[in-house]
Amino acid sequence: MKLLIVESPGKIKKLQGILGAEWRVAASCGHVRDLPNQGYGLEPPDFTLRCAKAL
């Protein structure tokens, strides 16, 4: 499975439809450079969200 991270959750459905089942589309809900260095991320193989605190 390939992963595409976009900034806005509103883009997920459209991009997922375009890319197909081979891709997983997830939202960062902010600029990737602004995310904390630890305690936040996506865990393969299903790319579940891992958060240390609410964003």
Q: The whole model's pTM is what?
A: 0.56
- Please give the angle made by the CA atoms of 13, 49 and 26, to the nearest 5 degrees: 25
Report d(CA 39, CA 8) in Å as an integer: 21
Q: What is the pLDDT of residue 17?
A: 95
For residue 32, what are the CA distances in angstroms to 7, 13, 39? 8, 20, 14
pLDDT per residue as tens digits for the range 2-49: 888 888 889 999 999 999 999 999 887 766 665 566 666 677 777 777
